[in-house]
């Protein structure tokens, strides 16, 4: 009898939905604050976002969660006893950081960058429990920031000129993706937990 | 010998004082930031607040704490071993959120709302330990937001026109009252704890 | 065989480096936001800071860490099992508060002060584990704020005129030093831990 757990179709759907809705909520703040602007809109808008954005975040969340569980990330005691509380805190942390990255527009670059990386470090330190979580943080940063660099270079969207940038994306962007990667990994574990061992 | 605890007169007085002082500190930020304006001042001002405001918050805090204890909310291990630390963290969390609701004035509505609800969710996830805490959160939101809706409609005070509103009160207001309700509930438990079982 | 631990030369150097780099990162935000201005620059600048500033913070961090360990502050279970996580969270907390003190410039005084003291209280409640930590918080506030009062009076630097001040320094400054003192104390414990008992 294996102790290994897995994520079923319903779990993957829950991760896609969580990521997509979270992405829409966060992106709304970026658009409303003028932090980012969509330059091309071939697809319909959902709230303030082009359709591809929530699909990308939703798909990424499911992929990271699936990778975490397949690589053997396991639930900690607090996650077993209070999975909903852990999931809510993890999601709220990343949404709060997402809003923070929008609120620092107009502040001196150094202040916003230090604040966002500090909060991201606190989120990672609070939720990461496993080497796999850190791998997911790196994967999220690599693919997330990489995708935005490419899409920005292709003229699909842009960051406001007064936002401190590296390769066309905000300097605080890696912090947001690192925290997101850790949380997506743990959400995968929590979703697998709800299904029990396979 | 019953294990049930209760709040004595001194405990109720402490809850009233904590709520009243916390309300004055928080309201000072709302008034100074122009988030809210008193339109009628039949009573004397305490700092920046009309006298009825600290009385309302103080009375509400004592009422919620009393309800929590009467309904059997019990202390967790961390609260028994370090009650002062838990109380200080709970109070500081709500005061910080209160200040945050003032600081987001002038930011895009979505950003401020997401940030305030995210922090409120983190406070609830950190401090709520019992179903009774969630009941107190709902009671605080119902009566707190309800009172403000009525007082705003009656022209006693108003939120600034640039603050996103629902029924005349700020859209982030339920978040503040939910977090406050959970904390008032736990402060009741901590005050009862200091008295021992009845 | 004594259980007492101590900090060796490498540990002191690590504390000096951590404090110096943290001071440079935080001060960068204060200078870029115009919160503080150096009025005299007899020494070279490192990033945005006069050379004496990182030396003062680095030396203070090592001194506080050394005092904490000599006075017998001991490691808690979480610090023994995950020292890097605890150190990272502690450092990120203070850097985040440092950036927050820069970001509140331009906000109403009461709002910024309440937010900074609330976050400082949360940092102290999270990381302080020992009476010695509180002693270090007081020492940091006394010597840190005292030094800044003297240097401000001597015309070496000044806080912006729109920053609420007490004796020539920001009203939120004690909050920053109190949190810093607790964290410097715990970093001393963590550094001593890495060396084992003497």
- The DSSP code sequence of C29-95 is HHHHTTSEEES---S-EETTEETHHHHHHHHHHHHHHHHHHHTT----HHHHH-HHHHHHHHHHHHH
Given a cut of 60, is residue A9 above it in pLDDT?
Answer: yes
Report the residue from C32, C88, C103 with minimal CB separation from A115: C103
**Residue B119: its chain A contacts at CB < 8 A?**
92, 96
Q: B32–C114: do the CB atoms touch at under 8 Å?
A: no
Tell me which DSSP letter residue A44 carries.
Answer: -
Given a cut of 60, is residue A2 above it in pLDDT?
Answer: no
Rounded mean pLDDT, A158-167: 97
Closest CA to B112 of C161, A99, C25, C118: A99
| Residue A194's pLDDT band (cuts 50, 70, 90) | confident
Strands B49-50 and B165-166: unpaired
User: Is the Cα torsion angle C147, C150, C156, C160 positive or negative in sign?
Assistant: positive
Rounded mean pLDDT, B32-38: 98
Given a cut of 90, is residue B148 above it in pLDDT?
Answer: yes
Looking at the DSSP bridge assignments, the partners of residue B49 are: B46
Q: Residue C5: what pLDDT?
A: 83
Rounded mean pLDDT, A65-83: 96
Burial of C82 (0-12, 13-18, 19+ CB in 10 A): middle
Q: For residue range C129-178, what is the model confidence (pLDDT) as tens digits?
A: 999 999 999 999 999 999 999 999 999 999 999 999 999 999 999 999 99
Q: B111–A99: do the CB atoms touch at under 8 Å?
A: yes
**Residue C109: its chain B contacts at CB < 8 A?**
32
The pair of structure tokens assigned to B101 is 């609701």
| Residue B2's pLDDT band (cuts 50, 70, 90) | very low
CA dihedral A105, C108, B160, B56 (to 10 degrees): 130
Rounded mean pLDDT, B67-91: 96
Q: For residue range C85-95, what is the model confidence (pLDDT) as tens digits?
A: 999 999 999 99
Given a cut of 90, is residue B181 above it in pLDDT?
Answer: yes
**Residue B100: its chain C contacts at CB < 8 A?**
115
Interface check A57 vs C, CB under 8 A: no
The pair of structure tokens assigned to A51 is 């359709």
Please tell me the distance from the alpha carbon of residue A102 to that of residue A25, in angstroms, as a whole number. 12
Please tell me the distance from the alpha carbon of residue C35 to that of residue C25, in angstroms, as a whole number. 14
Given a cut of 60, is residue C18 above it in pLDDT?
Answer: yes
Alpha helices, DSSP H only, in chain A? 9-32, 52-70, 77-81, 83-103, 109-127, 131-140, 146-153, 173-195
Report the residue from C114, C119, C122 with minimal CB separation from B25: C114
DSSP reduced 3-state for A154: coil
Q: Residue A180: what pLDDT?
A: 98
Q: Residue B3: what pLDDT?
A: 59
User: Is the Cα torsion angle C62, C64, C69, C74 positive or negative in sign?
Assistant: negative
* HEC-encoded secondary structure of B140-151: HHHHHHHHHHHH
Q: B92–C126: do the CB atoms touch at under 8 Å?
A: no
Angle between helix B83-103 and helix B9-32 axes, rounded to 10 deg: 20
Q: Residue C24: what pLDDT?
A: 98
Please tell me the distance from the alpha carbon of residue C177 to that of residue B75, in angstroms, as a whole number. 32
| Residue C1's pLDDT band (cuts 50, 70, 90) | very low
- Chain C adjacent subunits, 3+ CB pairs under 8 A: A, B
Q: Residue A5: what pLDDT?
A: 83
Interface check B85 vs C, CB under 8 A: yes
Given a cut of 60, is residue A198 above it in pLDDT?
Answer: no
Q: Residue A78: what pLDDT?
A: 93
**In angstroms, what separates the C-alpha of A9 from chain C's closest C-alpha?**
34
The pair of structure tokens assigned to A77 is 């005691």
Please tell me the distance from the alpha carbon of residue C177 to that of residue B56, in angstroms, as a whole number. 35
CA angle B94, B98, B101 (to 5 degrees): 140
Q: A26–B107: do the CB atoms touch at under 8 Å?
A: no
């Amino acid at each position: 009898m294996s102790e290994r757990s897995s994520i079923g179709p319903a779990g993957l759907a829950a991760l896609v939905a969580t990521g997509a809705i979270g992405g829409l909520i966060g992106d709304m703040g970026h658009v409303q604050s003028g932090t980012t602007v969509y330059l091309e809109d071939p697809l319909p808008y959902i709230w303030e976002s082009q359709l591809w954005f929530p699909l990308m975040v939703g798909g990424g969340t499911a992929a990271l969660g699936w990778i975490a569980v397949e690589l053997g990330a396991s639930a900690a005691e607090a996650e077993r006893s209070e999975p909903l509380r852990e999931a809510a805190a993890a999601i709220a942390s990343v949404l709060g950081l997402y809003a923070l990255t929008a609120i620092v527009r107009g502040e001196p670059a150094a202040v916003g960058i230090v604040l966002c990386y500090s909060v991201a470090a606190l989120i990672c330190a609070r939720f990461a429990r496993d080497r796999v979580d850190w791998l997911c943080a790196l994967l999220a940063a690599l693919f997330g920031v990489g995708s935005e660099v490419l899409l920005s270079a292709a003229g699909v969207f842009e960051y406001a000129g007064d936002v401190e940038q590296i390769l066309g994306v905000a300097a605080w962007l890696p912090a947001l993706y690192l925290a997101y990667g850790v949380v997506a990994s743990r959400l995968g574990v929590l979703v697998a937990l709800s299904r029990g061992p396979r």
